[in-house]
Amino acid sequence: MPSSDGVRLPIDVLRNAARGGQERFLVGLADASERQRIASALAGEGFVQEVESISEALARLADESFDVAVLDVPEQRTGRDPLAASRELRPFTDVVLIAESDPAICGDAFGREVAAVLPRPLPEVEALLRAYVKRLVGFRRSRTRGQLVLNAFAGIRAELSAIDAGLAAALEELLAASREAPSIVVIGDEALGRAAGARSPTQTDVATADAVVVEFGERDALDARLAEARARAAGAGIVVVDDAPTTERLRAALYGGARGYLPRGAAPGAPTPGAAPTPPPTLGRVAASVAQRRHGEALGVRIVEVLARHGILSGLERTRTPAPHRDIDVSLIAAEAAPRAHTPVVPTGHEVLVVDDEAVVLTVLREALRRGGYRVTTAASAEEAIDLMHKRRFDLVLTDKNLPGASGLDVLRAARTLTPSPAIVLITGYTSYDSAVEALDIGAHDYIEKPIRDVEDLRFRIRRALSRRDEQLARPKPKPIATKSGADDRAGRVLLVEVEGTRRQLIADYLGKRHHVTSAKDGDEALALLKHESFDLVLADRHLPGTSGLRVIEHAQRLLPHCASVLYTAYPSYDSVKEAFATGVDAYLVRPSEDLKKLAEKVAEALGGRGGILLG
């Protein structure tokens, strides 16, 4: 569990990453019986969303996060493949296709780099179908766990080394292994080896391969050939290249454990006696995809074993059961899940990205914001959110702070690098001053405390964050002011309000190198100046005699459109952070005279419209 002040220990970070979040599955099949059977097989693994068509499923994938999507094979159309477009947007989703038992159709499906293909008819015995589906989920879970743990480890290396050097060294070794290229070997002719991008294997190469491409000759016994591949390359993902493809051989290979199946065509032109058929054109892509997945799966298993050896995971935790959600009030879940009479929703035109590892939380937040008129996209991890932000433009990001793997703070850091950057709202379960500093230091526009109980307050906070972000983006960049003496490189007019004379002079002199600074000794003098002069930024001490620094900033916001503000104090507290945020200041600093360089950076960021609450 996290410590009381909200700071997680390295062991807690690793344990949380290994546990992961609640998994989400999408079943988009037109056949009701197939849809029900697949959904039933997935029901014990996580949240299952059923839809009745491939088009609806692809629309869901565009907006929502899923670990695995089980879909009908989409129709081939002229122009861009809809499945390829979906996978480009959601590369973290494993796509499993249900297809007719036609070697050409299934081979084409594997050529689209899907995780698996299940030929029709599905196995009649429910236990066999459930075992096959759970196997696919297990593959995905191993990869995800491994990646989340390594991402978490990357952020806590030094801290972990100080408390458990052995565990840190083991994870360093696994981190290095994760960067190695997956290996592919071929059991077949040289042409297959060249097409698969495999080198001539040694005995060691075969034994440690991530994927093995196996040629099925016309007279080969499939069971014997698969057994040979498993014996020579234990644990490798098997890709079958069939010289004599049939429906029976296809089903035997895939339901027998092969991770890919490609029919091999005849050589072009007049056949030459004894000449080998042409390798499938997509073999290299399929083999690489299988090898990459298998490399991640094997690494994930090794990582969990390391954590178990070091006492990070118990036996029960190794087979993760999602923890009950505590982030959303039960009454809010019921309210947002209940059907409502149709009322028109006025679109706001804003795109919102919601990031949380709990399926229930994602669903409730998505529906609450959609009913508020927002277009909502969801992500179940920081890694997925960061990938989406680089592909699509979002106006606001609402993210949980504590996520498996990379954290919500990593999402915020990535968001701040974008131009224009989205508004940022953090969800946090910790209400101490230290956790507020950590949450807001990188420029969040708001933070919401758990559990979330009031949907109207949630929507209000979202509107306020968007409004502040729009105001910041609209601020004109201060330009050098012409003076009687000629050119002046200083840009921006700053009103400094500080009661203590020496500190006021120190700050004014330092900021005066870059900006035009006017000083006021108290709030009343500052208000008088605001009535007659124009400023780009107000920098005020919170504790002033008479009119406080917060009131000065409020007056500036009313009198001067686009005026930025920085509040500072020598007596920081959690309540003062909340108060500053509610006022809408761009930065909140502690004892700025002790770090004038940082003060200047925050002033420059606020003037440049890169605000949020920037704590120093």
- Report pLDDT digits (tens) over 373-388: 999 999 989 999 999 9
- 463 and 570 belong to one structural domain: no
How many CB atoms lie under 10 A from the CB of residue 584?
Answer: 18
Tell whether 154 and 73 lie within a shared domain. yes
Q: Which residues of 152-162 are buried (b: 16+ CB within 10 A; e: fewer)?
A: bbebbeeebbe
Total domains in the fold of the chain:
3
The per-residue pLDDT for range 547-597, each reduced to its tens digit, is 999 999 999 999 987 899 998 988 888 788 778 778 888 888 888 878 899
Mean pLDDT confidence for 203-212 = 76
Task: Please tell me which residue, 505 or 322, carries the higher pLDDT value.
Answer: 505
Q: Is the pLDDT of residue 479 over 80?
A: no
If asked whether residues 470 and 499 sit together in one domain, one would say no
Q: Are residue 70 and residue 14 in the same domain, yes or no?
A: yes
Residues 15 and 128 occupy one common structural domain: yes
- The residue among 288, 304, 320 that closes a domain is 304
Structural domain harbouring 33: 10-159+298-304
Asked, for residue 315, whether it belongs to a domain, the answer is: no
- Looking at the fold, whether 510 and 421 belong to one and the same domain comes out as no
Whether pLDDT at 68 is above 90: yes
Same domain for 122 and 72: yes
Please indicate, yes or no, if residue 577 is contained in any of the structural domains.
yes
Q: What is the CA radius of gyration of the chain?
A: 29
Q: Kindly report the average pLDDT of the chain as a whole number.
A: 84
Q: Which percentage of the chain shows pLDDT scores above 90?
A: 46
Query: Which pLDDT score, from 0 to 100, does residue 340 have?
Result: 55
Tell me, yes or no, whether 209 lies in a domain. Answer: no
410 and 455 assigned to the same domain: yes
Alpha-carbon span 140 to 65, nearest angstrom: 14
User: Do 24 and 118 sit in the same domain of this protein?
Assistant: yes
* 574 shares a domain with 452: no
Can you give the pLDDT at residue 440?
Answer: 64
Average pLDDT (460-484) is 81
CA-CA distance, 152 to 431, in Å (whole number)? Answer: 23
In a domain, 30, yes or no: yes
User: Would you say residue 291 lies in a domain?
Assistant: no
Least confidently predicted of 52-56, 257-261, 338-342, 447-451: 338-342
CA-CA distance, 439 to 430, in Å (whole number)? 10
Confidence of residue 8 (pLDDT cuts 50, 70, 90): low
Lookup: tokens for 599: 């003060």
At residue 6, the pLDDT reads: 46
| Higher-pLDDT residue of 441, 507 | 507
Pick the range with the lowest mean pLDDT from 90-99, 372-381, 480-489.
480-489
pLDDT at 361 over 90: no
Exposure string (b/e) for 174-191, b if CB count within 10 Å is 16 or more? bbeebeeebbbbbbbbeb
CATH code at position 591: 3.40.50.2300
Q: 457 with 501, same domain? A: no
